[in-house]
Chain A
Amino acid sequence: MIPVSYNVRSLTVRRATTLATGLGIALVVFVLASSQMLARGIERTMGLSGSVDKVIVMRKGADAEMSSAIETRFVNLVLAGPGIKRGGDGQPLGVGEVQLVVALERADAPDDREAAQVSNVQLRGVPDNVMAVRPQVRITQGRPAKPGTDEVIIGRRIAGEFKGLALGQSFELKKNRRGQVVGIFEAGGSSFESEVWADIETVRSSFGREGIVSSITAQLEGATRFDAFKGAIESDKQLNVQVLRERDYFEKQSENTADLVRYLGIGIVFFFSIGAMIGAMITMYGAVSARQREIGTLRALGFSRTTILSSFLLEAILLATLGGAIGALASIGMGLVEVSMMNMQTWSEIVFSFEPSPPILIGAVVTGGVMGLVGGFLPALRAARTSPVDAMRA
């Protein structure tokens, strides 16, 4: 075995080249890790919104709350279904909600009308007992909205992002009717943090949604009670609704967007890594030809071809893994960044963050190392094939 310090030293001697190649690989790994982190962030944000022991009921055929409508008189019927948990007061833990999308101007948009950057924000009309059904929601600033008023609370991630969405401000629900922001809530990183919550009656009367809810969400006694509930409710032809686990529903909502980001990321990285591998190859060929004489000497001293091959491969992997580690480290910094993106499913903006995870980071560094392995293979082979006689003469 040739000592590793030999490789380390050769990398430090050719500092500029090492740096350029390592940085190239670092960038590829950075893009790879970041895109996977964002896809994970999207899934997690949506996944956190739903839990396995809750159900969501929508009209049959509707693929989102937005396009669903159920008559109010059916709400109690659904909540009376088997397996629904009851609260301390004996009432079922469930809510019928109205969900809408409202157009608001971005906070940084210019006042010029034609250039107005209008974006969609989800507005949820919730009944009084919503906090019992969604216990992850906590008011962090201000206070809860008074029931029966036009007061609203907003998720922490959209606070300040749109005109009117800040504590003490208001936005237009309809003519001469404004929603007054009195509180900001967090919801454990879920997509609720990108929503505006108002009293269900306020939403109904402002948007002509009298007599209907978009969806019904209810807490099961346990995750295993799902099938019983689903069977009972879906077989009722009069209701004409479908039942989904809340987790499944929200995950489906994020599927398209997360997949787009994930596959776009992988596609881009595929191209990028070819570039980076070529870079590694150039560097390693350079290293081999610069050390032709040394290699010849080593061969003359009796080192085998395999030893020389593995030494150069090791050097390439070392270089690439180092670059990869730098890229992965930098990508952790992206964890501080939040991006506001349109969810393809609901046409409304949700704020996501990049979510680092050990598998993503390790995977990215390993990918970097593999780039070194692939890029370094041919040069290492050339080194191993060096004839000691020719090399000494060169």
Chain B
Amino acid sequence: MRDEEEPAKTLIRVEGVGKTYQRGRERLQVLKDLSLNIREGAYEALMGPSGSGKSTLLNLIAGLDNPSEGRVLVDGTDLGAMGEGKRAAWRAANVGFIFQTYNLMPVLTALENVELPLLLTKLGKSERKRRAQTALKVVGLEDRASHRPDQLSGGQQQRVAIARAIVTDPKILPIVTDPRIVVADEPTGDLDRQSADEILELLEKLNTDFGKTILMVTHDPAAADRAQVIHQLDKGALASQAAPS
């Protein structure tokens, strides 16, 4: 639970960001002069029609891509100023990814999938395993540790993906990195209502119990309703910003 007394600081600053893609001869402006602030520990949703630029914005904030104009600052760090190698390390330490299609490694067990990001740390073998098991427990799949993705339901696969997203988290087991952001791109897009609700509950738990800053792209109004703020994008610009009704 967040302490009401302590004013939350701004974690993510998007300042006048524009993004243009060059597709052959055509220049495609996906984002233009977009500014946005997100506090630490917030749970916010990005909505908008297809092609409105919401996924692009998400990618910029997650450090997957560089803006054409403007800056993206996370905890005071300018992501655009980092080289690709540095940015990869930064992602490994600070961002957890959840995808619509789960994107687990089909050849690895649930536990191994969760362990994957830890291979980039200096942790020892047994320590990695312990942390991965803990993360699986958080998502309630400790009994499915040795199953491969194709032996799991869609909802279960997405929970494994969430475990993978939080496994390096200091709040679960202390390691040096902090803060943590979870970006979720249509996390419930491929799921039935019941599984979707389970996932959304899990995301809420991550936000409230573990203080995760969560940014979610979604089409699903039920998913967006769980967020504290919904940003509506249209044609590359911010159309509205409001709490769910």
Do A and B contact each other directly (Cβ–Cβ < 8 Å)?
Answer: no
**A interface residues with partner B (beta carbon < 8 Å):** none
**B interface residues with partner A (beta carbon < 8 Å):** none
